[in-house]
Amino acid sequence: MTHNWAAVRDEATRYLQDLIRIDTTNPPGNETSAAEYLAAVLKREGIEPTILESAPGRGNLVARLKGDGRAAPLLLMVHIDVVPAEANAWTHPPFGGDIADGFLYGRGALDTKELAAMELMVLLMLKRTGKPLVRDIIFMANADEEAGGRMGAGWMVKEHADLIRAEYAINEGGGFALDILGQRFFTCQIAEKGTARFAMRTRGRAGHGSQPHCDNSVLKLAAAIQKIGAAEFPHHASATVKLFLERVAAKLGKPHDKDLLALLDAKKYRAAVERLPLDEGLRSMFYAMLHNTVTPTMLNAGSKVNVIPSMAEAKCDARLLPGQTSRDLLHELRAVIGNEVEIEFMDDTPALESDYQTPLFDTIARVMARHEPTAPVLPYLVVGATDARHVRKLGTKVYGFSPMLAPTSELDRVHGHDERIAIDSLAFGTRVLHEVVREFCEGVDR
Ligand SMILES: [Zn+2]
């Protein structure tokens, strides 16, 4: 069956526009309103959805297209909450869904209501053609990703695992274009870093602000923070990043291939990264892909300007590479800041890394090769965190693949002002995702 792609584009655009106009800013979330919108669309087409609330207003939607069970289910997952927007800094209202110059504007246009619209559209297209499926396709639009997922994907995994159990899942986290030294690649996320957030505290002697002394908790904390800022933490090359850089090097060839491969070598990393003509964004991304990172984000000390406080505290956002734990990080931290500073971990969520030698990855690579033959798909490690960390507890292989044409610069708008998606990119993504899901789940003719 041939699809009318202009009509598909317009329909997906309408869904995205409608979803953006439903304010699901988290907190408080109110995702039920968006879930009800999706439910109404699905019902109209004969797909029976279920909405499950983790708390009043915190709706999670699940729907299923049945296959014949020859293969295990595929989960299309997406979060429908968004981060707050400072409306007065936007040129188009964040919940207006305006279209201007080929872009659709709004909070969630790239994170991740675009994927919600695409997955919805793909589900509807498969339902309409009605071809038999070899596996179930499950659609989950969940709450609360932006606040950690405890009321969303985390809750679904805990309370309703049977509704979403799948062999594979497609999620946010990859699918965008990545330009490296003049060559375009597309990403498919198979790994993401873990988190090990911690508080660090220094103690000293209280006293009067008029009589400075060196046993001042604030000065000690400042010194520790400065050391963290200046430190280069130990280098670790995970399997995914190895694969990623080997493929980039192979595609680029001379003169940069040697230096790209040298990034994988702890001893050669620093010199190689200096030699490569990388922009600031790539340089910091490569660093985060090859090191545990520690970012101080919150400070707390003192309650009166003329009193030297006996305790000062900083909170740090730390990210762990695959295979690393908070204990490993503690060792690395101690080497930088010494033993005097107290460190208390607030969480320890390990990184995740899935196999890429799978039929789903192959399908993604094959479909992308048809659409973008000069831009290979790279197995990719996301340095942030997504709902994948919840769903992988069910043994699901989660791939981040929300295909889009947007250059990386557009992604700076994620969580920023004037978030937007090119309508062409939404159309491209819908088409690619449809082909991936169709070929993976119908299992026959292309
Ligand atoms: Zn986000």
Residue 407 has pLDDT above 80, yes or no: no
Q: Is residue 188 part of a domain?
A: no
443 pLDDT tier (thresholds 50, 70, 90): low
Residue 116 has pLDDT above 50, yes or no: yes
Distance from residue 433's CA to the centre of ligand 1 (Å): 21
Helix (H, G, I), strand (E, B) or coil at 414: coil
- pLDDT at site 410: 82
- pLDDT at site 446: 44
Residue 445 has pLDDT above 60, yes or no: no
> Do residues 151 and 258 both lie within one domain?
no
Distance from residue 109's CA to the centre of ligand 1 (Å): 11
Distance from residue 241's CA to the centre of ligand 1 (Å): 23
> Do residues 228 and 246 both lie within one domain?
no
> Do residues 37 and 158 both lie within one domain?
yes
pLDDT in tens, 376-392: 999 999 999 999 999 99
Query: Catalytic residues, which ones?
Result: 81, 145
Q: Is residue 107 part of a domain?
A: yes
Distance from residue 103's CA to the centre of ligand 1 (Å): 19
Give the CATH number, domain containing residue 307: 3.30.70.360
Residue 438 has pLDDT above 70, yes or no: yes
**Which of the listed residues 267, 290, 313 is the one where a domain comes to its end?**
290
> Do residues 21 and 150 both lie within one domain?
yes
For residue 312, what is the enclosing H or E element?
strand 311-320
Tell me the CA distances in angstroms from 185 to 32, 138, 171, 379, 441, one per residue in order: 37, 29, 19, 10, 26
- Hey, what are 299's tokens? 């400070």
Nearest Cα residue to 344 out of 377, 315, 381, 306: 315
For residue 63, what is the enclosing H or E element?
strand 59-65
Q: Is the pTM of this model over 0.85?
A: yes
Q: Is residue 186 part of a domain?
A: no
3 pLDDT tier (thresholds 50, 70, 90): confident
> Do residues 408 and 367 both lie within one domain?
yes
The CA distance from 74 to 64, in Å, is 10
Distance from residue 83's CA to the centre of ligand 1 (Å): 6
> Do residues 215 and 126 both lie within one domain?
no
- Hey, what are 294's tokens? 């520690």
Distance from residue 26's CA to the centre of ligand 1 (Å): 10
Residue identified by tokens 């001042």 is: 216
- pLDDT at site 444: 58
> Do residues 241 and 211 both lie within one domain?
no
User: Which residue segment(s) compose the domain that 136 sits in?
Assistant: 5-180+351-441
Q: Is residue 185 part of a domain?
A: no
Q: How many domains does the chain have?
A: 3
> Do residues 133 and 198 both lie within one domain?
no
> Do residues 406 and 325 both lie within one domain?
no
> Do residues 282 and 356 both lie within one domain?
no
Q: Is residue 158 part of a domain?
A: yes
Q: Are 404 and 381 spatial neighbours (Cβ–Cβ below 8 Å)?
A: no
pLDDT in tens, 408-436: 778 889 999 999 999 999 999 999 999 99
State mean pLDDT over 106-130. 97
**Which of the listed residues 261, 290, 319 is the one where a domain comes to its end?**
290
Q: Is residue 189 part of a domain?
A: no
> Do residues 92 and 114 both lie within one domain?
yes
Q: Is residue 403 part of a domain?
A: yes
Contacts of 164 (CB under 8 A, 6+ apart): 62, 75, 77, 138, 140, 156, 157, 391, 394
Distance from residue 412's CA to the centre of ligand 1 (Å): 11
> Do residues 105 and 160 both lie within one domain?
yes
State mean pLDDT over 98-126. 97
Q: Is residue 10 part of a domain?
A: yes
